[in-house]
């Protein structure tokens, strides 16, 4: 039997730092209030010349270097984004072109903030089925291009960034084999209106009216989304732990989607997890949508908070709505 193992992590954050003073100024909100409401002190913004693929390539190169791989070693590229370079071709194909690894499969996943775990699950299935031996999974987001600076529900939260992992299939070596133990994916399309960009697709094409109505910007029902995110994440985490026979006290590090500092706090308390076991980078980078989980994972690895054979719990929640959880023996 083959088990999929993460052998390299990487991340990239744009240079420009956007403070709470800057995002709060248009809304008349003091920096300290922004921090209290969100748990964020600053976030990053991509340069005008940067698209999601540019951020994704930098994160990919960092992950490849950590794995000791070159792009030519890859068997596939799976990329999560809600802010693609173009409608088509996929942003994954742009990343493939820049990395110079032609002919391998490359495609995008659109599962909002849960996209990284959805992509990880697809890559795991391809590896375990024998289709490929290695895979690059990237999540890259330039959310700032779809944010209305005058919308307090979104302008305070979102930042730009990218994270990536390199996966390799390895033969199982007993119960303590390193690698992905399992990933569980969920969705509820009936809740699609809680977070959405209403226009720009085939249902509501771009017109002067949609532009005037700001229907191409991210719209979110924050309070409802907050409650649902905590409930669904708590549920899928407990189900996943029970399925794989893992107790919460055996989890060394919890890496969650960095949606909002208050969500992280509420979920941590609800699960009864000590804060030092929960990776949090939202204060520095804000909510980078699907990129936030791999960015946080890379931070935890490079900070020395994850060690070989540690059990790592992953969790995410996002638009769709979608949510997911996973377990890794590092």
- Every domain of the chain and the residues it spans: 2-171, 179-329
- What's the CA gap between 94 and 88, in Å, rounded? 10
**pLDDT, tens digit (0-9, with 9 covering 90-100), for 17-53:** 999 999 999 999 999 999 999 999 999 999 999 999 9
**Sequence-distant (≥ 6) Cβ neighbours of residue 146 within 8 angstroms:** 83, 197, 216, 217, 218
- What's the CA gap between 274 and 185, in Å, rounded? 25
- What's the CA gap between 215 and 91, in Å, rounded? 23
Q: What is the pLDDT of residue 323?
A: 98
Q: What is the pLDDT of residue 174?
A: 73
- What's the CA gap between 263 and 129, in Å, rounded? 36
* Pairing mode, strands 77-80 and 42-45: unpaired
Beta bridge partners of 42: 19
Q: What is the pLDDT of residue 214?
A: 96
Q: CB count, 10 Å around CB of 329? A: 19
Q: CB count, 10 Å around CB of 326? A: 26
Do 2-171 and 179-329 show the same overall fold? yes
Reported as a pLDDT band with limits 50, 70 and 90, residue 132 is very high
pLDDT over 80 (residue 70) = yes
Please confirm, yes or no, whether 257 is among the known catalytic residues: yes
Catalytically annotated residue among 93, 113, 135, 279? 113
The average pLDDT across 48-65 equals 98
Catalytically annotated residue among 101, 135, 257, 299? 257
SS3 175: coil
Question: What is the greatest pairwise CA distance in the chain?
Answer: 61
Please confirm, yes or no, whether 113 is among the known catalytic residues: yes
Q: And the tokens for 264?
A: 């992280």
Instruction: Judge whether 284 and 42 are in contact, CB under 8 Å.
Output: yes
**Strands annotated E in the chain:** 2-12, 16-19, 42-45, 77-80, 106-109, 134-142, 160-171, 179-187, 195-196, 219-220, 251-256, 278-279, 311-318, 322-329
The average pLDDT across 246-272 equals 96
pLDDT over 80 (residue 179) = yes
Total-model pTM: 0.97
Phi, psi of 261 (to 5 degrees): -60, -35
Question: How is domain 179-329 classified at the architecture level of CATH?
Answer: 3-Layer(aba) Sandwich (3.40)
The average pLDDT across 190-218 equals 97
Instruction: Judge whether 20 and 261 are in contact, CB under 8 Å.
Output: no
Catalytically annotated residue among 93, 260, 287, 299? 287
Reported as a pLDDT band with limits 50, 70 and 90, residue 173 is confident
The average pLDDT across 239-251 equals 97
Q: What is the pLDDT of residue 311?
A: 98
Please confirm, yes or no, whether 260 is among the known catalytic residues: no
Instruction: Domain 2-171: state its class.
Output: alpha beta
Q: And the tokens for 112?
A: 């909002």
Q: What is the pLDDT of residue 177?
A: 86
Average pLDDT across the chain, whole number:
97
Burial call 221-230: b when 16+ CB within 10 Å, e when fewer: ebeebbebbb
Q: What is the pLDDT of residue 149?
A: 95
């Amino acid at each position: 039997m083959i088990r999929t193992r993460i052998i390299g992590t990487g991340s990239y954050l744009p240079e420009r730092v956007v403070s709470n003073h800057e995002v709060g100024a248009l809304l008349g909100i003091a920096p300290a209030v922004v921090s209290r409401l969100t748990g964020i002190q600053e976030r990053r913004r991509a340069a005008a010349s940067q698209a999601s693929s540019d951020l994704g390539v930098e994160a990919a190169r960092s992950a490849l270097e950590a794995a000791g791989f070159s792009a030519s070693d890859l068997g596939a590229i799976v990329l999560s984004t809600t802010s693609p370079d173009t409608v088509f071709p996929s942003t994954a194909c742009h990343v493939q072109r820049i990395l110079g690894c032609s002919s391998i499969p490359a495609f995008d996943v659109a599962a909002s903030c849960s996209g990284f775990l959805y992509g990880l699950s697809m890559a795991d299935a391809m590896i375990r089925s024998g289709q490929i031996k290695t895979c690059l999974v990237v999540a890259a987001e330039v959310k700032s291009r779809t944010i209305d600076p005058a919308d307090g529900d979104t302008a305070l939260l979102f930042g730009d960034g990218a994270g990536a992992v390199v996966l390799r299939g390895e033969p199982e070596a007993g119960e303590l084999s390193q690698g992905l133990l399992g990933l569980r994916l969920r969705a509820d399309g009936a809740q699609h209106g809680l977070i959405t960009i209403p226009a720009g697709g085939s249902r509501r094409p771009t017109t002067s009216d949609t532009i005037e109505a700001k229907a191409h910007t991210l719209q979110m029902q924050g309070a409802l989304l907050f409650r649902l995110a905590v409930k669904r994440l708590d549920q899928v985490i407990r189900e996943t732990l029970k399925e794989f026979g893992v107790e919460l006290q055996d989890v060394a590090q919890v890496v969650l989607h960095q949606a909002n500092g208050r969500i992280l706090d509420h979920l941590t308390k609800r699960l009864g997890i000590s804060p030092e076991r929960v990776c949090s980078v939202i204060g520095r980078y804000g909510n980078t949508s699907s990129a936030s989980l791999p960015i946080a994972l890379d931070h935890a690895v490079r900070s020395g908070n994850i060690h070989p054979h540690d059990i790592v719990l992953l969790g995410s929640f996002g638009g769709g709505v979608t949510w997911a959880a996973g377990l890794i023996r590092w």
